[in-house]
Structures are given as structure tokens and as C-alpha cells.
Structure 1
Amino acid sequence: MGKKVALLIGIGNYGSGLKTLQCPANGVNAMNTVLAEPEIGGFDEVIPLIDPDVGTMRSQIGAVFGRLAKSDLALFYFTGHGIKDMTGEFYLTTAQTQLFDNGRLNPGTAVEAEFVKRVMGNCYAQRKVIILDCCFGAAFAEGFLTMDDGGVDLEAELGGKGWVVLTAATARNYALEQEGEPLSVYTRYLTEGLRTGAAAKRGNAYISVGQLHDYLRTQVQKVAPTMSPEIFNARQGQAIQIAKAAIATRELTYREAIRSKIRRGQIGGAGRVYLNTLQQQLQLPPQRAAELETQELQPYAQKQAHLDTYRQALLAEIEVEYPLGDDAIADLQDLQKLLNLRDRDVRPLVIKTLQALSVRGDVRAMVSRLFSPPEITQPALPEPSQIQLPAIDIPLRSARGIDYQPLVELLRSQQWQEADQFTRQQMLKIAGRTTAGWLRGEDWENFPATDLQTIDQLWQAYSSDRFGLSLQIAAWESAGAHVDLETMRTVGIQLGWKPPEGYWKEPEGYTYNLSAPPGHLPTQLTKVGSLGRKFQAVAQKLRRQLPEPANAIGEPAQPVNPRVPHWSERWGMTAQSYPFETMRVNERGDIVERIAGEAECFVEDLGNGVTLEMVYIPGGEFLMGASEDEAGAFSDEPPQHRVTVPEFSLGKFAVTQAQYAAITGKNPSHFKGDQRPVERGAWQDAVAFCKALTDRTGKRYRLPSEAEWEYACRAHTSTPFAFGPTLTPDLANYDGNYSYGQGPEGTYRQQTTEVGQFLPNGLGLYDLHGNVWEWCADGWHYTYDGAPSDGTAWTAGGEQNGRVIRGGAWNVDPRLCRSASRLRLTPDLRNYDIGFRVVCSPPRT
């Protein structure tokens, strides 16, 4: 096992021409504490270096990283000023760094990034993490010390392959420290995320660099919206495990629940009741629960304090003079920059304040002067309240009594963002999902066609066919009208909902003017995993012929959208939902996209604190088997054929040893551990377990068919793996000495791991690639010729003494872990790499 070594450098004191910083020394000390703690960072060696001169800094960088071995982890943390010279070269400052009288850098007093790049490039350690909490220019004001635009390309400056670089901000943003605060904003949340475990995803025992960056970006932007923490990574850099998640599972569960219930910086009434109930169920001490809430709400409170400060300054200027003079406007713009507030944060506040005061003069002109250049790029856009398009005769019909007149007025005045917010609010209200804030697939399927058509017609009419649900459906149909994730990405890029590379946009990242792509608005209002069901449902409902209502607002004359019961009602189950995150990698195994999802399940109580979580899998159609050009495919995987799979539920994990023992009283496993998958069970043993579970619960449990297993494993993907075109040892447990395609080699764990240690697929299911093979109900057939197309198990014909296993295992190469991979075994074989998971069928009706 390799060593973990960290070099921490903080520069707060400088030569002439640079502002002294108070936070760097504190940042180094805080990082030292967290990384050196055995139960958190667990670093073998942490070298803190505060205010070194040029020689000492260069010497320590060379000495620390020049002696590491291939299996080691190298971490370099720098906090202080960062400077560019006249040629554009980027430098890290030292205690000797000075600027000449003309403002230029004395290059002999700083350490050039090229030196760091050379040292890290020559370092043998395969895992390299660079964290830069630094400024790109001199401070411009007291109170908040900010960094000027420098145009520094950090990925180019500090290398691409072999390491990952985290930065507090790009050259277009401001990294900062607040006067009176002991730590910079970035380092505050960096150490907090590691110390408390808040950066970890639920169920993960370790914090990866990617998880840490996601946490930092979210928390920092709550406080300082103009800051944009970035990550520049190469070969699987984001998956490097940097610390243990030293936090009780119940605290992480409660913390995630708090985040889900925060609306506009506050916890609403229903959210408060939910959290109080959850706190009691988790038996979390009230004082600790309150502390966690304070931590999660603090960024929102700080941002609101900044807005209040700006508003007080605006009122003070108005009291002196209105219309505001050039000096007052310049001071307010400086203050906005100082407080790290975006135009879109401040503009509504300014408009509301000026309107409340009934100031004289042209409000539009004053807003334009304060926010020049405006964030909205539409040329010469008038103040929305002064635009008034002619009214268009569209019946405002609603099956739920919604008054759409306010939407008409917002669209007539081209207040696109406000119109989108109103649309979201009413659609959530109709679906009963106001607290959740997004719609599930079944919500779209149950959404009144009357209301969808009214919303669509209004958006189309007042945007001159630029926006509307119909345009979104047209984009989906032009992409093939499929529901797989690849189609969703294609449509998302076309509609402007996501960039070609990177994450899907939140509503605040949308473009609220007519320069947006066709169909851009209204916003998607659903998670990526539910987009396909949304498009299917909306397409059907927009084409439906509706009867004329008795009046403009109210119930239609006859029902046009009978409610489809939720699956839990039809099944007689109590449904629970859980959030998750999955990801997509490219051919090299680099993470190219992180996708948030939410799944629903019911929980079976097996006694003595042992439970079984069964995830609901909506029915659908997919192509089963390997494509003709899939690398590494075997002759028993074709031909690809279309299969329609009815709804079912599948174990969230492979059956664990604790679950198996709770039902059978036995544990045949070689690798012992309650939360490890049970193994060394024959096919007959798995069938017997299902029968005993059926007898215990009264529900219909069985092994999955091959079609159900592959449908669940693919999770609406068509690539060799649910995560993309390759697999990495950071995504699944297999023999990391081997790679698939251009993917990386990595860790070979040589045993099973506890279930849920890796990210789930797009349906929220864990460990379908690797860990243990999983028995299916089907008999063995050497090809799919004549296979059922309805998702049932293929038990007729074939080789009756052969059964199918799927998914690969801890001791095989990734080729065998593909979604389409299948093997034949005799049903009496017991081995320490074979397990199973169970299906629960819907009740008979």
C-alpha cells in the first residue's frame, strides 16, 4: 500500500506591491489538521510551509515530490496570491515576491508554474492532487481581497494527464477572503467537507476528489455566486480517494435531507415537519440536528447578508441623490463586485427597491446604467414592464382550476424568467410536487392534457413559436424519439439545457431571452432519468383532442385525463424515494458527466434490523444483446433484438450475507461480512431463497429473467457499460490488472467488497458490473434466436443443465462485466464469485 504525502504552502506576507493576506496561514494549519487526522485524511506525512522564500519553496516542492513511489498519493495545496507576468506565464508567490513600481512582477521572487509542472510530471506517484486557493491579481479593496482577471489556463499551466487540479476560481471569477474570517471561502468549505464528511455521497466510505469538488462548487456559490470553483482532471483523477468519510451514516442522511428541503434559503413548514420526524427516526440528538441545519443554511444566510448590505447602500445613495450620479453608480458597482454578487442576484433587488420607493424618472434607464453591460445579451431589450404585446385569443382552460391570466401578462411583457417561474410553480402545484421541486415520470403521465395544451399554446403564441413544449417534443422526435440517455443528451444539447461537455443546467443557468435555442423554455422541470417518460407523455397529451370546457377556467365538461394510480398504490406497497448520483465516462475512463437521479423503492423488513430494499423499475423497451461492433463481444451475445419489459422491482443490491442468513439461517460465503454479497450458493439455493422469502412476506419473489437483468443493468444506455464505453476500477470491483478498450488499469481488490461501495447506475441500482456474478432464471441458449420478446425468462428448449449468470465478478477482466456479457454454468455449481439478486413481481390482478 502506498504512502499519502501532502505539501501545504500558504503565503500571506509579501514584498512590496502586494496586499497582505490573513487567511493563508490559517488555511495551511486547518488543512494540516484534517489531512493528518487518521480517521479523516490518514496522510502518512503532511509538510506545512508558511511564508517560505523562493529557494525554500522550490527546494521543498522538489524534495517532497521527487522521492515518491508509483503507489503513493501526492497532494499539493497552495493558498496565496497568484500572478501573471507580461508574457502570460503564471507564478505562485512567495514571501519575497514583489512588484516593481510599474506594477510588473519581479520574476526572480516567485515560483513559476512551469517548475511545479516539471516536478509533478517527473513524480512517480500515479495519484496527484493539486489544490489552488489562490488569487490571480492584487487586492482591490479592503474587507474582501479579490483577484483580477488573468486569463490563466490552469490545465495548460499545471498539466493534463496524471493528476487532477482543483481551483477556487477561474480567471473570470474572484477567489477571495473576507476580512475578519479566519479562512478563505474556498478553504473554509474544503476543510469542512473533509472534516465533517459532508462532501461524501451517502453510502460512500471515502471522499473522492470529484465528490469534494462538487461539494465545494455548491457551497462556495451559495455564498459567493460569482466564484466558480473548477476541476481540471486527467485519467480518472476525479475518482482519487482523498479522505475517509468520517461521519455517522445517520448524520449524512440527515444532512442530505436538509439540503433537499431548503427552498430559497429557508426550510418551509412541510420541510420542517419532515426533518423533525426524520430526526426522531434517526435518533439524532436535537442539538446535533440543529448544528447540521445551521451549517447547511449558513451559505444562504451569508449571501442574504451580502444582499442586505447592498440594499442598505443603495438606499443611502438614493437618500443623497436620485437619479444616481456616475460616482454613486461606480461605487455600487464596486460594492457588488466586492460582495461577489452577480447581476442576476442584484437586478431584481434594485428594481423592487426603486418601484417600492416610487422614484421619479426612468427605472429602466437607471437599471441599465447599474448593470452595464447587461447579462441578458438581447440587443436594446426594453424594461419588460414597458413591453406589451397584443393579446392573443387563446382559451385559458385548466382541469385543475388554475388561473393562467398571470402567465399571459408575463408572456405579453416578455418577462421570460418570471413566466418560467410561474409555469414551474403551477405545474408543481398541479402535480402535488411543490415541496419536491421537480416532476417524476408518473407525474407527467398523470398531468392533465388540458393544462399542458394551454401552457404550450401560450408559450408558443407569445414567443412567435420560439418557445413551448411542442418545440421540445419536436427536438426529441428528430433525435429518434428514444428514451435512452444518449438521446436525452442529444436533445438536451439541442435545446440548450446542457453544454456539449459538462453538467446539465439549473434554471438559473438558462437563457431568458429570444436568443435562446428553439424550445429552450419552459425549463425541463424533471431529472435527466425521467426526461424520456416526460417526452413520451407530453407528446401523447399535446396531440389529444379535448372537449370544449363549460367555462374558461375550471373542470372540463367530461374527464379527459383519468388518473393513473402510482405503482405503490397498485402494488399495495409503501414507497420510499432516495437520491443518488451516477456518472458517465469517455473511452479513456475520464469522467465527463455527473447525473443526479432519484429512485423509488419499498423496504422489506427481514427482522433483527435486517432489511431488503426493492427498487421499482418502470417497464419499457430496449435492445438486448451486444451490437455487431461491440468490442470483446462473444458469439452467444447476438443477435440484438428488441424486448418489451413489464414493470418489476429489483434488489437495490445483490443479496447480502445478513439478508441470506435472516431468511435461511445459513451463510455459505467464503469472504465473510454481513454487508458483503452472499456467494458460494448454487442456482437451486437462490431459487430456494426466493421461495422462502415469498413464504415469509406473501409477495412474489423470484430470480430475474435475463431480459429483466440486462434492462435494469443498462438503465436506458446502449454502451457496453451503464457508465459509458469503458469501465474503471473506481466504478466497479473487478480485476484491475486488465482494461477494456482505452480504459485504465487500476486496483485489483482480490475479494468481494461490501455492497453499495461504488456509484449506482441510472436506475439507482448498485454493483451490476462486477463484485459477484448473479444467477438468472433462464436456461442456457447459445444465441438469442427465438428468444422471448416480452421480458420473460427463456426456460423452454436450450440446454436444461445450463443456467445463466450475468454481470462479472471481482476476479474477472472488465470484458466479462459488460451489460451484454453472459456465461453458462451448471445449476449445482457453488463458487466464491457467484451471488444473486431478487425480483419482486407486481401482485396478480
Structure 2
Amino acid sequence: MTKHALLIGVSEYTPDFKHLPAAVRDAAAFRALLRDPKLGGFAASHVTLLGNPARQEMEIAIESLFADRHRDDLVFLFFSGHGVKDYDDPLGRVYFAARDTRKTPNGRLRIATAVAAATIHGYMEDSRARRQVIVLDSCFSGAFPQGLSVKDDGKVDIRNQLGGEGRAVLTSSSALQYSYQQDDENLSLYTRFLIQGIETGEADADKDGIISAGEWHAYAKREVQAIRPAMAPEFYPGREGYAIHVARVPPTMTPTSDAHGPAVATSGDPGEAYRQEVAYLVHQGKGKISIVDRIVLDELRDEFGLDAAMAEIMEEQVLAPYRKAREEHRQRRQRYARLLRRLLEHQGGELDKTARATLGRQRERLELGEKDAEAIETGIREELARKREQEQQYGQALRELMQGKEFLLPDELRERLSRIRQGVDLPEEAIGRLHADMNKAPLEPGQPFRDRLKDGSLGPSMIVIPAGKFLMGSPEGEAGRFDQEGPQHEVIFANPFALGRGAVMVGEFRAFVEATDYRTQAEEGKGCFVWNRDEGKWERRKDCNWQSPGFQQDDHHPVVGITWNDAMEYVAWLREQTGENYRLPSEAEWEYAARAGTTTPFSTGECIHTDQANYDGSRDDYADCGASTGVWREKTVPVGSLPANPWGLHEVHGNVDEWTADCWHGNYRDAPTDGSAWDKGNRGDCSWRVVRGGGWVDEPGGLRSAFRLGGNPDFAFSSIGFRLARGL
């Protein structure tokens, strides 16, 4: 009686198949095992290793293995590589791929380039050897035309295609799944445990010193499924196939039972005894050493007189495969979770039949059990639910901040945003999307909003002004009227637009200056004009600028001491920061919004009061209406500190005069009727720009909705600021 083995490993394939780096190493590992006289007991000359063979070479070697054998011979065939099921064949025949196996352009197997299981079965049937062991560590896949689906149970019929009397067939899997996954550093999982079962003697279940095919399979299956539950090694024994002797356990490894169950070597080798105890405890602990196990092992190490460092090395050797398997399992779970998350997000949380089928195939490919998949899906659904809840929470808080009526500075807005973000666990991508979605939402008349700047902060508070029409200018009988306020003419706004709810604040202008290192014209040496109360006139002071206007201001006050050109620089920066069409308002837009549907001199009615606006209430009254209250603040007040007009604009009368986009015209003859800014046409003078609204130095009549002045765009005044406009 002799033993003959053919060990085939195919790692390198044509581009039609994935490379399997460990396949040749699997075959080489089996050669070392079988040629070991204490384990496999095969003569070296009777063990043939075939690495990356071509199809013809592989088939000839298989034929030679089974030919000219005697009845009592043991024939061992090992194949590590790709197996392919042919769906064009109604019987679902299986083929084994060689290095030159090919597929057609549409995905069908070129049958002539692979070795058929039926051919191998024929060689086995013709062989006189009655003890045949076939080990297939293969990843089976389907070969069928691209674009077609196949109604199939996903199984490969190994029993009928390779089984037979006196034969034992062991397979890593019989399903169309990638049971062969491994990396460049290790043997495939199935081969690893087949070899381990013989080397350690742990596959000898009945402790008789002989490892049968049935014992070998049972051990490998148990160990594989402890790490990868979805992987299902199969065993197909013919009559007497279960009892075929595969290997023997050397006397030094013959186990006996100690008091608590694990195998302990009787050879007197304390190192081997310790290693077996570690292997037993690690196996019982599913790849981990518990605190109790640690105590037992420490005692055993001391009893055997082992060096602590050597004991640690043996433990690491035993634990390494489990750790690697756990890491591989974790990575497979991650890949499955990524796919599932994308499908759930794409389909709104409910998967259709096609997605479920795709997911099922990927689960099998990744060798994950149903419980694994269920746990992953439960976790992801809970995660997505939390994410939706947090997005809603953030969106609501963001909406309240962006549409709120508080006048907040950039730093205050950043602090509020930071507090909102600290309350949720959302990635920057999700936060950016929420901001973008909010920016895309339609804006309704009267709705406050803020745009997002590039650094994530928020811009000035704006409000939507409705489309409509009005009579621009003052009627001839209005008290305090000037000819430059007429003639009255109808202006129609076909579309809504937005205006700043208040004038641009010092802190907002400061953010622009700090971001750009901008210096205003006043700071460049021109200074600005300051009101001399004692002499009742404007005086230019070189030390006057937006940071030092001649009176106390904080960052919530309207910025003054800036020229029309300075205002345009700020507008250009804000446009670049937001991507929105920010600008100075046209004179028509300003008056339309200031009137807010009223036709009286002020949006407050026929009169105005220092409780409603910031102006010089110590000067002459307006039309004896009671506007002269004796109150004069002599400086600006914080933006938003006085009541808004009917359309939500604060301090539109008084506090600061406001630059507009228009060139100066002495009257409204031939003025635009669509609300646009008026340029040089009709004798326009762009060396002067229109100023509206009145300021803290003005008497009541200068605050009327129709009142207008011209200002040099290069001059800065301690009572002139600006309000923003934005297209929608």
C-alpha cells in the first residue's frame, strides 16, 4: 500500500478571474504536512506540487494521479483556486480553472480552457485505488451571460459530480460565494485549519492517534465557523469514505484528558503542553483569554518553569489567527455596512426587492451570517434615525438663527452656531447641505434671512421686500417738500428683492476689514466730516474715521465715517463671500421699502417722534406735529434699538443717512420706472451719489420718506452709513 498526492494551487489567472495569492502557498503547506513522516507519512517522491499550471498540464497531472494505482493505495488530490459553475449547462456542471482559463466577452466560460469535474470524476471512477481523498479549497462562482439573471439555488452539486464509493470529498464551500478570501500574508482560512488539525492533533476527536476524514472535516468546519459563521464547509463521504485514515498523531502529541477537559501532551515537553492549554482556552473563549484563563495560564507557566517571554510568544502565536480573523470579519462588516447605508440613504430608508436581492448576494460574498446582517442593519437604521433627528434639530436651530430678528455681530453669530453644532454630531458635509438647502428654500415677503459666508459664519440680517408699485417722490402739498423730490411718478417692482433690516453695523464692517486688511478713504488721510454743534456746521477732522467718528460707539452701532466707495468695497466682498448679488439699494428701492405701503411723510404717519427715530428733536418742529420733543442723543444708537417700519426695517428714518447706488439728478423727470438705479442719463452727476433717510444730526423734516440729498462719494461723514440690498 502506497500513498500518492497531487497538490494544485492556482494563484495567477487571466484578467477574467481574480488572483488568489494564497493558493500556491496552500499547496506548498500541504506538501510539507504530507511529507512529514510523523504526520502525513507520504514518501517525498509520491507528493507532487503543481503551481499555476495550464489547463492541459493540470488535467494530465490529475489523470496520472489516479492511473496505475493499487486497490489499497491512498490517493490524495488537493486543489486551491477558482471553481466555476456553468449556467449554460442544465445540469450545472462544475469546472476548475487553470492559469489560462478564459471567459467569453459576455461572461460565459470557455469550457475548453478549464478542467471539468466530470473529467476528474471519470479518472477517479477508473482508478483501482479504493481510498480517495479530495480537498477543494475553492471559491465557486457562476458563469453566465452578462445582463441575464439565473433562477438557481446558488448551490454547487459536488456530491454527484465528484462523490463515489471509497471516496471522501471535503470542500471549503458548496455555495456560489467567495469562501476563499485571504490576503497576501496567510494561508486561506479552510486550509489553515485543515493543517492545524493535523499538526496539533486536535482533529483526533476519538483520541485513537489516527485522524480520519470525518474527524478532519468536523474539526475544520467547527474552527472555520467559529470565525466565519456564514462559511459552510461540506463533507461528501462515499461508503467507507468517512473512516479513511488521513494522518496520524505522533506519540508526543497523543492527548489525554486532564481534570477540566483540554488536551495536555504526555511527551514531557512543557512548552508543547502549555501551547495546547493556550489553544484549548482560546478556542473555548472564542479567540480571547479571559481573566480566569489568565490566572490558570500563569499558574501553569510557573508549574512548567517556562520563561514569561517565551510563554507570551506562544500565546501570541495561538491568538494571531483569531485576531486576524476578527479583523477580517470587522472589515467585511464595514464593507457590508457601507453598502447598506448607501442603499438606505438612496432609497429613503426602505429597500425594494432589487436592493434586497443585491444586498443578499453581497452578504454571501462577504461571508456574513444573517444575524450579523440583521445587527448591522439595526445599527445603521438607528444611526440614520439619530442623524435625521439631529439634522432636524440643527435645521430648526439654524432656521431660528438665520430668520431671527436679533441684530447679532459676526462673532456672536459664530458663537451661536458653535453652540448649535456642539449639540449635534453631524459631519461638515451634512451641515453644509443643511445650509445649502436652507439657502435654496423660497423666500417669502417679510421673511428675515442670513446668507452663509465662506468660513461658515453668517452675514447681515436681511428681509424680503415684496413686489409691487408705489408713487415715488412727495406730493406738492407735503410740508418741507423740495423740488428735487418731484415730480411724483409710479415705479413698479416686478420681482421681490431684499434689504438689510438695519444699517450695516460696526462689527460687520470690522469683519470685512480684518478679512481683507482694507483701509477706508478716511484712514488713508482724508479724515471725515464731524458736526460742530456750537457753530452749527460740518468740519473735516483728520483723525475721524469709522473707528473714531467723534462719539462713543460699540460694534452694534451703524458704521459711519465711510465713503460711498468704501461701502461699495464692502458690498463686493460680501458678494464674493456669499455668491449672492449684494449691492447698494437703488433710490427707488430705498423709498419703496421705507414707505412700506404708506403715502404719508413718514412711515409712522404724518409725524414722527424721538421714541420712533434718532434725530435732533431740539430743533424746529415739523408742521407743528409734535416732532420737536427736546430730545437729541447727539450720536448714533445701536441698530435695531428703535421700532421697525411696517415691513420690518429698523431706523429707516434717522440714526444715519444711507448711501444708495444712484447718481445725483436734480429731479425725477425721465427717471426709471422699474426700480433700477439711475445712472448718468438725463444730466445725471455721478460725482455725487444719492443719500437717503436722514441722520442723528438732522431735523425732523430731513427724515421724510421722500427727502433726498447728494453726497460726494469720496467724502465720509460721521452721520452717513449704508444699508444693503440683494437680488433674489
Q: What TM-score bracket applies, with the shorter chain setting the length?
A: 0.3 to 0.5
In our comparison, the structure showing a higher alpha carbon Rg is 2
Q: Output the TM-score relative to the length of structure 1.
A: 0.38
